[in-house]
A and B are shown apart, each in its own frame.
Chain A
Amino acid sequence: MPDRLPGLPRLAWRSLVRSLHRDLGYLAVGLTVVYALSGLAVNHVAEWDSNFQAYRSVRRVSLPLPADAGLAAAAVARQLHFRGPVRESYRAAPDQLEVMLDGVTLHVNPVSGRVVEEGRKPRPFFRIANWLHLNRGKRAWTVVADLYAVGLLLLSLSGLFMLPGRNGIRGRGAVLALIGAVVPVLYVLLSGGPGR
Chain B
Amino acid sequence: MGGQPGPPDYTGYRLQVHGEVDQPFVVDYAALLALPQTELTCDVHCVTRWSMLNTRWSGVRLAALAGRAGVRPGARWVVFEGAHGYTANVPLHEALAPNVLVAHHFGGDPLAHGHGGPARALVPDLYFWKSAKWLTGIRFSAADEPGYWETRGYHNHGDPWTEERYA
Contact = CB atoms under 8 A, between A and B. Distances in A.
Interface of A: 46-47, 49, 54, 56, 88, 90-93, 96, 98, 100, 105, 107, 116, 118, 120, 195
Contact of A90 (B1, B29, B153): B29
Contact of A93 (B33, B109, B113, B114): B33
Contacts of A92: 10, 29-30, 33, 110
Interface in B121-156: 153
A92 B113 CA distance: 15
A77 to B, nearest CB: 16
Contact of B10 (A47, A56, A90, A116): A90
Given A91-B30, A93-B33, A100 B112 contact: no
Nearest to A104: B8
B34 A93 contact: yes
Interface string B1-13: 1000000111100
A88 B30 CA distance: 15
Given A90-B11, A107-B110, A46 B29 contact: no
Given A54-B112, A90-B30, A92-B30, 20 more contacts: A46-B48, A88-B10, A88-B11, A90-B10, A90-B11, A91-B30, A92-B33, A93-B30, A93-B34, A98-B10, A98-B110, A100-B8, A100-B10, A105-B113, A107-B109, A116-B109, A116-B110, A118-B112, A118-B114, A195-B153
Given A46-B48, A56-B112, A118-B112, A96 B33 contact: yes
Interface of B: 1, 8-11, 29-30, 33-34, 48, 109-110, 112-114, 153
24 contacts: A46-B1, A54-B112, A54-B114, A88-B9, A88-B10, A90-B10, A90-B11, A90-B30, A92-B10, A92-B29, A92-B30, A93-B30, A93-B34, A96-B110, A98-B10, A100-B9, A100-B10, A105-B8, A105-B113, A116-B109, A116-B110, A118-B112, A118-B114, A195-B153
Contacts of A107: 109-110
Best-buried of A88, A91, A98, A195 by chain B (most CB within 10 Å): A98
Contacts of B112: 54, 56, 118
B71 to A, nearest CB: 27
Contacts of A91: 30
Contacts of A88: 9-11
A100 B113 CA distance: 12
A91 B114 CA distance: 21
B93 to A, nearest CB: 29
